Structure 1
């Protein structure tokens, strides 16, 4: 294995572009699910929103545990001629794409209600908790084997974010333009078109994974590990590390805000404003804001203000924007789009610096305990993110159920008012909770982070 890796070309643009395509492939199925699955099952398949949310929430809880299990499987696997992590991308790209496509089978809309719920449950578990996990965990871990240079790994992280952002643009812009049709003056989702879209995106996912596999190279040999991460170790890490607890709570509310807004967008634009084109435009502008505003300036602002301080400040601004939107209740969809874009800046800054905040948490733990716990802390954080996704799925389904949303009531004035209110109130609460979590649970302000960096540098120079 070592001899094979020595033959690899030096780290370069091929690896960066290849790694970018890995997350591009991931998000062809993940973002489709986050943005349109709830809408597809309530409006096309006729399943109650609360049930859809419950199924998605249960699956995400399962996913939280399978993530840790897959991490153990990958850690214990032995490298072959393709490396330790890359083989999983080649093995699982087909199953994850096929499972995603099976979720959106509009031809089953006429089947009995129980069958449709069971179909959603089985296909969603297969896609998210088994196949997506089996490709995403190795993909995320692969950066450490592509290069041992911290700068190279930072470049890979940046290119991964670019891949995710581009996928969001493709899916967010193209899907509403194709999936919705106007029937009797109402903008509704076409089931047959969604099935075709899911098939096309599944093929695109496979192609992206293949490009990732072909262009990347593992240069660092990562031998099979015998270390095990138990459930008790996970919970001990959470409740004995205040900084980790704080970032976990904040991250859960970021996901609740982000995924809830994404899911409700599929109801706000077509049902409240009757404009699928506006949803596409909002996704496009959101991508531009992320690439032009958040990505270039997040590191500079965090260096000047502090990561915690930047996250709190941008979250306060986002909460205020959504409050203005709730009070203003813009009659034009473009007023809502403007509020969405402005509020999205806060979420974009937090998402851009979150991985650097996790590194600060790892440094703080090493200062306090004298032990470097990268693997455990990253596993705990991944576990917590899946819980946030689970809560978001359940929340959206429950809220739609509370306001009485069904396929038959989708355009009733009382229901559309409820949709608008939820789309504003949910992120307001989420951003306020982020600020509170960072203020009272997360101790790593700019001064403390700088002290930890200096302390670790002094220890290593002894």
Structure 2
């Protein structure tokens, strides 16, 4: 084993500190963090494009350009903020929690501003307002999400407990998704059309709920893994970069997550047009949101025993393969009713729900692998790299989604879309996800190296390395 710079990493215990042991409070606290995040994240992912096209009357291709530019900017913000946090010392409340408390209020305010519509303004004003508020929200989102995501690796070092945290995080996101996707269409749309005033009311309601969740996360979560900062001043960024480049698990989970996130965001954006125009029933989006949440609730108690028996990699790859098969089936069944479509879609949602339930545990593993390679515990830096990949995925999805909706001929000024446009929307919502999910399956199965056996061995090797360094 290569010699590493001495960076002392210790896990404080309940016996030598006042910290309680890892338990249900941590799980609920961590759940609340993504609950708070996803009130606006899912609102934006599912409905911001239709708000911009149907309320601001911005061309969908221009919306795609905005999404592409903003997400690429956010990717840079993620890495910058992650590196900044890793240079800060932990306080009495931890290293990451205080940033959630400080930055959540400006984040929520910026989220509400995105949905402010000033009547009677010109197209240039609305486009400029969209750029300013959306980019501001995305930048502030980094300041909360990076410390939140990094916190998982310092709440516990146990691989099974980390899988549990990943599942609870996903549950939190899906609870927010349940509210946004089920209640949202009932609030946001009037007579099957996006309503500016209703969108603003929805944003205010979701903002209040978001703040409450962030405060719950701050109160209930405990950071237990403490890094001795004395050696950090001697660490060069170059060494960090070399470790990242050599981190094969990180590289492949980055690529797989980027690809998955691109597809997931595309599905969310296209589904609005699919149900509003192809099926002529925007309210059916509520049922889609309910089904997506229920599949996660069903899958959650299954994940821990499945991962314990088969491993994270194995469970995630099986789930994403199932999703690919289901979306391919939906493409070849174009004459389904909305309810029939949703019924089949439920199986695919359960498949990619399994992937989502374990994906955050992958991140904790690659942070450990980075420490094993370099001797450096850099949770926020590594997590920010992962978050950057997801943001790039969102950027690509936003750019492609807007361009694709425009390319199939969507015109918000028409009462009814042309049949060729409807067929194009159907293809975007079925065949494209099927192809990309299949690619993600192949990457996880054949290229991501940390299977069940190697992950367990990594935990053992890292524990031994820490003892040697101490």
Q: Normalised by the size of structure 2, how large is the TM-score?
A: 0.85
Tell whether the 8 Å contact from 2:182 to 2:287 is kept in structure 1 after alignment: yes
1:126 aligns with 2:131: no
Quote the residue 2:51 is aligned against. Answer: 40
* Change over 3 Å in CA distance of 1:321–1:257 after alignment to 2: same
Question: 1:417 maps to which residue?
Answer: 423
The aligned counterpart of 1:57 is 68
Question: How far is 1:287 from its partner?
Answer: 0.8
Superposed, which structure 2 residues align to 1:103-114 within 5 Å? 103-108=114-119, 110-114=120-124
- Using the size of structure 1 for normalisation, the TM-score is 0.86
- Report the Cα distance in structure 2 between the residues aligned to 1:310 and 1:41, rounded to whole angstroms: 38
Alignment-derived partner of residue 257 in structure 1: 263
CA distance in 1, matches of 2:164, 2:45: 27
Distance across 2 between alignment mates of 1:147 and 1:438: 25
Cα deviation for residue 140 of structure 1 reads 2.5
The CA deviation at 1:359 is 4.8
Asked whether the equivalents of residues 365 and 371 of structure 1 are also in contact (C-alpha less than 8 Å), the reply is yes
- Specify the alignment match of 2:145 in structure 1: 136
Q: Is the 8 A contact 2:371 2:378 kept in 1?
A: no
Give the equivalent residue in structure 2 for 1:245. Answer: 251
* Residue 30 (structure 2) aligned to one of 19, 30, 33: 19
In 2, Cα distance between the equivalents of 1:436 and 1:251?
A: 13
1:379: Cα distance to partner?
A: 3.6
Q: Secondary structure at the match of 1:328?
A: coil
With over 3 angstroms needed to count, the CA separation of the structure-2 counterparts of 1:24 and 1:223, relative to structure 1, is farther
**Distance (whole Å) between structure 1 residues aligned to residue 89 and residue 146 of structure 2:** 16
Which of these residues, 157, 167, 188, is aligned with residue 176 of structure 2?
167
- Cα distance in structure 2, aligned partners of 1:146 and 1:452: 18
Aligned twin of 1:322:
327
User: Aligned with 2:118: secondary structure?
Assistant: helix
Q: CA RMSD in A?
A: 3.2
- Give SS of 1:111's match: coil
Superposed displacement of residue 97, structure 1: 0.8
Structure 2: how far apart are the matches of 1:116 and 1:62? 20
Summarize deviations over 1:334-378 as a string: whole Å, max 9, x none.
1111232111122112122223334554566677x4746663543
CA distance in 2, matches of 1:229, 1:275: 56
Structure 1 residue 384: Cα displacement? 1.4
Native 8 Å contact 1:6 1:219 kept in 2: no
Q: What is the aligned length?
A: 450
Q: What is the CA distance between 1:164 and its match in structure 2?
A: 1.4
C-alpha distance in 2, partners of 1:361/1:219? 19
Does the CA-based 8 Å contact 1:365-1:373 persist in structure 2? Answer: yes
Partner residue in 1 for 2:4: none
Between stretches 410-419 and 425-434, larger displacement belongs to 410-419
Contact 2:166 2:360 in 1 (8 A): no
**Contact residue 237 and residue 377 of structure 1 kept, 8 A:** no
**Structure 2 Cα separation of the partners of residues 372 and 21 of structure 1:** 29
Measured after TM superposition, the shift of residue 284 of structure 1 is 0.9
* Alignment match, 2:3: none
Task: Kindly report which structure 2 residues correspond to 1:262-411, keeping only aligned pairs within 5 A, or say none.
Answer: 262-293=268-299, 295-361=300-366, 369=373, 371=375, 375=379, 377-409=382-414, 411=416
Q: Alpha-carbon deviation of 1:138?
A: 2.0
Gaps of 5+ in 1: none
- 1-structure distance, mates of 2:294, 2:287: 11
Give me the whole-angstrom Cα distance separating, in 2, the residues matched to 1:437 and 1:317: 15
Compared CA separation, residues 332 and 48, structure 1 to 2 (3 A)? same
2:443 equivalent in structure 1: 437
